[in-house]
Amino acid sequence: MSPNELLAIGMVATFFVLLLVGLPVGIAIAISAFFFGYVGFGPSLFNLLPSRIYGVVTNYTFMAIPLFVFMGVMLEKSRLAEELIDVVGHLFGNISGGMGVAIILVGVLLGAATGIVGATIVTLGLLTLPTLLRRDYPKALATGMICASGTLGQIIPPSLVLILLAEILGESVGTIFAAAMVPGLTLATIYLVAILVLATLRPDLMPPIPAAERAALSRRQLLRKLVLVVGPPVGLVVAVLGSIIGGIAAPTEAAAMGAFGALLFVGLSGRLTIRLLAQVVKATLLISAMVFFILICAQVFGLAFRGLGGEHLVGRMFDWIPGGTTGSLLFMLLLVFVLGFFLEWIEITYIALPLFLPFFVQMGVDVVWMGILVALVLQTSFLTPPFGWSLFFLKGVAPKEVSTLDIYKGAIPFIALQVLAVGVVFVFPPIATWLPVAIGW
C-alpha cells in the first residue's frame, strides 16, 4: 500500500472522527480533505477546485433544489397534514388498523408533496399519537407507524435524496424519479399489507374509529373534503412529476411550476400571509444553503480522495470480497446500512457512494438500479437507532408516557420491512428499471 493510499484512508477516518466530535458535515469534509490532500500533494492538487465549485453553483439541475424545498415548506406550513389526516382517517376508520392505513397513506401523500421528513413526523406525532394511545394502540406500534410513514418522502419523488443521487450517478433527474416511483410505492404497500395482516390477526391491537366519531362527518361532507383537501396537492404532485417523467419539462421548470402551484394553493385556501411567506422563504434559504455548502465541500473531498489514489484502493478492497459483482454490491449496501446507524443520508451519499461508484461502473452494473437500492437503504438511516433522526423528531413531540425505548422498539419491525423492500428490488431489478425504459428515458 502506497503512502498516498494510507493518507486516503486517514482522510476518511478523520472525517468520521470530526463528525463524531460534533463538527458540521461540510466543515468536517473540507478540513479532512484540505489537510490530507495538502500533505499528499501540496497546493497543486487543488488547482482544479475553482472549476469544480463553479460547476456546482452553475449546475442548472441544482436550481430545482430550492424550488422543491419552497414547494414542500409552503405546503407543510399550510397545515395540509392536519386536513389529510382528518379526511383519510375517516375514510378508513371503520376497519381494524384503519388509522394505521391512514397514517401510511398520508405519509405517501406528504412525501410526494413536501418530502420534509422532520415536518411530517412532528405533524403526525402531534395529531395522531395521542389519539392512537387513547384508542389503546400499543406505544411501540403507534410510534413505529408514524416514524415509518414520515420517512417515505425520502424515496417517493420529488425528494432531495433522488436529485442528489441523480447528479452523483450521472443520470437525469427524470430517470431517477421514474425509477424510484414503483419501489417507493412498493415499500408503502409492504407497510400497508403488514399493518392489515397484523390487524386481522390481532384486531384488539388496532381498533377501528368509534362509530359515533365517524358519524360526525357525513358521506357528503367526507366526499367534499376529499375533493377539496386531497385533490389539489395530489394534482400538483401529478403535474410536477408527470411533466418531469414524461419529458415535458426539465426538473427545474417543473420545480418552478410546483413552487408557484403551492403558493397558489395556499393563497386560494386563505392562509397566505406575509408572516407565513417570510417563514417559508427563511426555511427554504437555510435548507438550500446547507445542501449547497455540503455539495461544494464534497468537491474538495472527491478531488483529494481521487488524487491520493483512493479509487484504486476501493477497487482492491472489492477484489477481496467473495461473490463477484453481486457480493460486492451486497457488501456496499450492508456498509451503507451500518453507516446509517451513525450518519445522516447526505453524509453517506456524498462520501460513501462516490468512493464505490467507479468500481461498479467498471463492472457494468446498472447504475439506475444500484442508485435506487442505495436510496432504499439510505431511508433506513432515518429509523435505525441510536441516531435515526425520525426517532429524535418523534421523541421531541411524544407524550411523556412514551419512552425512547418504546420508539426504538416500534422502529425495528419497520426497518425489517424496509430491508424486505430492498431484497425485493435486488431480486427483481425491473421494479426499478422498467418505468424509465418504458417512457424512453
Three-class secondary structure of residue 228 per DSSP? helix
Averaged pLDDT for residues 5-18: 82
Radius of gyration of the chain (CA): 22
User: Which comes out higher in pLDDT, residue 41 or 431?
Assistant: 431
Rounded to an integer, what is the distance from CA 386 to the centroid of its chain?
A: 18
CA distance 9 to 435: 39
- The pLDDT > 70 percentage for the chain reads 88
Single out the residue of 174, 127, 107, 195 nearest to residue 382, CA to CA.
107
User: Where do we find the cell 462516490?
Assistant: 354
* Residue 364 · residue 95 · CB < 8 Å: no
* Residue 356 · residue 374 · CB < 8 Å: no
Residue 323 CB coordination number (10 Å): 10
Q: Could you tell me the end-to-end alpha-carbon distance of the chain, in angstroms, rounded to an integer?
A: 42
Please count the structural domains in the chain: 1
Q: What is the pTM of this model?
A: 0.80
Q: Which pLDDT score, from 0 to 100, does residue 218 have?
A: 62
Mean pLDDT, rounded, of the chain: 81
Looking at this protein, which amino acid is placed at residue 247? G
Q: By mean pLDDT, which of 214-228, 262-276, 354-368, 397-411 is the weakest? A: 214-228
Give the range of the structural domain holding residue 254, as residue numbers without chain letter.
3-438
Rounded to an integer, what is the distance from CA 380 to the centroid of its chain?
A: 9
**Residue 169 pLDDT exceeds 90:** no
Q: DSSP class of residue 282? A: H
Per-residue model confidence as pLDDT tens digits over 50-96: 887 887 778 777 787 788 788 878 877 777 666 777 677 677 767 78
Helix 404-427 vs helix 389-397: angle between axes, to the nearest 10 degrees?
140
**Residue 115 pLDDT exceeds 70:** no
Looking at this protein, which amino acid is placed at residue 44? S
Per-residue model confidence as pLDDT tens digits over 297-356: 877 877 787 777 766 666 666 667 777 788 888 888 888 887 777 666 776 777 778 778
Q: What phi and psi, each to the nearest 5 degrees, are found at residue 282?
A: -65, -45
CA distance 121 to 147: 6
Per-residue model confidence as pLDDT tens digits over 215-271: 656 666 667 766 777 777 778 877 887 787 777 777 788 888 888 888 888 888 777
User: Where do we find the cell 390487524?
Assistant: 199
* Residue 16 · residue 287 · CB < 8 Å: no
- CA angle at residue 291 from 345 to 436, to 5 degrees? 65
Q: Which pLDDT score, from 0 to 100, does residue 244 have?
A: 77
